[in-house]
Amino acid sequence: MNAMTKGRMMTVPENPTVGEYRAVSLDGRRFQFTAALESALESGSFVILRSETEAVQLGQVDDVSISHGDTLRGAGRILGAVSEGGTLDSRHSFPFAAAEIEHADAKTIELMHGNTVNPLVIGSYLSSEHIPACLLPNRFNRHTFWCGQSGSGKTYALGVVLEQILLHTSLPMVIFDPNADFVRLREPNLGGGQPAASSSIAARDIRILRPGSADPDSLRVRFTELSLPSQAAVLRLHSLEDRAEYNELVHLEQSLGTLASELIVPNLRERETTAATALAARIENLQVTDWEIWAGGASNVITVTDVIESRPDATVLDLGGFSYPDESLVVAMAVLEDLWAKREQRRPILIVIDEAHNLCSSEQNSPLNVAVRERIIQIAAEGRKFGLWLLLSTQRPSRVHPSIISQCDNLALMKMTSPADLDELATIFGFVPAAMLARSPSFRQGEALFAGGFVPAPALVSMGARLTQEGGADVSVPMRS
């Protein structure tokens, strides 16, 4: 392998021995190398580059291939210069004609975190199992996209990260939980090997709101607190196509706060107008007054927006227990609409949407689906500066509206074998090294790629153990004795 550096021809050894292989960098930003197979370098490996002047830089291998003669050839990026005082300057790096390479040790890799207080330890690096892998907590002020196919360990791994956020930050979270995966977030996993950390999370202010629970833990919404367009979406009303019924809703809205749900339809029928009768029939046909989500007119009933307004450390919304599918959409609409209406307060909150394709799909076109999706698109585009930060998790990226994914700066990718989904991710997240993205189909359960602002450099990680109980563990096949 030949390269021109400062007018001189440099040659990387064709058959280096272990610990004696060389690299060159023409621009001080990227490097190329050859190495023996025994070097065990792979995409994602962190390396120390030590030039002939004894200057030290930290690099990361992007791509590796096997060439003739049992030799590895590859390339990577220089992450910064390591000073004698033991700091990493990521803004400065320099070219070199030849440098020795060695696997970076834990102390050098930790320099990437700089002055970050309490980095979030989420597991270990695939290339160095003894070295902790961390996320930067201060960079969750960007939207995050998390994806992995069924069986990849996506929900378990997401729980690991949410636990670390609870443990080390004061960032409140609201978690849309369609499968009851996080309803045990305040129950310590004392068998996980970190009893003190598990107990610390259990001591946090974590609210679990569920349908049918006793107050104040019941998941409820006030119809009158929804905006008029959202109320119309619940009833599938169009302001022009259904203008008579819509207008009747405008007048009914003024008295809804004083009516019990079972009195709404009789009240409409008493009006004895065509529009009121039609609206009453619509409400009956949709069975809206039968939904258990409604808080009714009683002022002492605590709603989901009341709970979130008090800013617990985490608010888990169990969306899986409703009898009617649209009830979960109403919860999402109420919460997102309330947060957006209060955006000027600039109170940071992490909005975690598990199975995000349920709320962000470009294929669902009912009025309520559209209203929820449009609000999420708005938050994705404009919410970051107000402290409204999204964390979206899904099995299928192609089912999430592209306008939402394109606003995400952080990526967490677990096992994904769909070529179409991987191609889409490669296009949207162009900052992810292609060779690392290509490893996704071969990931084992619990392995992941993290890239974007919340990691100092793209990282291939084996996730660590949960500190709290997992709510949605798989059901085992019963066996005969």
Mean pLDDT, range 390-407, rounded to an integer: 95
Cα torsion through 8, 9, 13, 19, rounded to 10: 20
Quick one: fold of 2-113?
Answer: Elongation Factor Tu (Ef-tu); domain 3 (2.40.30)
| Count of Cβ atoms closer than 10 Å to residue 5 Cβ | 15
pLDDT at residue 463 in the model? 97
pLDDT tens for each residue of 274-333: 999 999 999 999 999 899 999 876 667 899 999 999 999 999 999 998 999 999 999 999
Percent of the chain with pLDDT over 90: 73
| Side chain identity, residue 355 | E
Model confidence at 15, pLDDT cuts 50, 70, 90, reads very low
pLDDT > 60? residue 10: no
pLDDT > 80? residue 398: yes
pLDDT at residue 471 in the model? 82
Tell me the H-state helices in 319-409.
Answer: 326-341, 357-360, 367-382, 402-405
Contact 68, 83 (CB under 8 A): no
Q: How many Å apart are CA 222 and CA 214, to the nearest integer? A: 17
pLDDT > 50? residue 11: no
Q: Which residues pair with residue 138 across a beta bridge?
A: none
pLDDT at residue 258 in the model? 59
pLDDT at residue 1 in the model? 32
What the block records as the tokens of 134 is: 């961390």
Query: What integer best gives the mean pLDDT of the chain?
Result: 89
> Can 2-113 and 132-220+302-463 be said to share one CATH topology?
no
Instruction: Report the sign of the C-alpha dihedral through residues 439, 445, 447, 449, in that order.
Output: positive
pLDDT at residue 291 in the model? 92
Domain extents in the chain: 2-113, 132-220+302-463, 223-290
Which of 262-266, 306-310, 392-396 is predicted least confidently? 262-266
Q: What is the DSSP letter of 24?
A: E
Strand, helix or coil for residue 245: helix
Percent of the chain with pLDDT over 70: 93
Contact 409, 380 (CB under 8 A): no
Listed residue (147, 56, 157) closest to 410, CA to CA: 147
Task: Tell me the longest C-alpha to C-alpha distance in the chain.
Answer: 94
pLDDT > 90? residue 59: yes
Model confidence at 372, pLDDT cuts 50, 70, 90, reads very high
Model confidence at 109, pLDDT cuts 50, 70, 90, reads very high
Model confidence at 267, pLDDT cuts 50, 70, 90, reads confident
pLDDT at residue 257 in the model? 59
Model confidence at 22, pLDDT cuts 50, 70, 90, reads confident
- Which comes out higher in pLDDT, residue 56 or 116? 56
Q: Is 184 exposed, middle or buried (0-12, 13-18, 19+ CB in 10 A)?
A: buried
- Which comes out higher in pLDDT, residue 371 or 193? 371
pLDDT tens for each residue of 403-426: 999 999 999 999 999 999 999 999
pLDDT at residue 254 in the model? 65
Domain made up of 132-220+302-463: CATH architecture: 3-Layer(aba) Sandwich (3.40)
- Which comes out higher in pLDDT, residue 64 or 342? 342
pLDDT tens for each residue of 461-471: 999 999 999 88
Contact 127, 44 (CB under 8 A): yes
Mean pLDDT, range 417-437, rounded to an integer: 94
Model confidence at 5, pLDDT cuts 50, 70, 90, reads very low
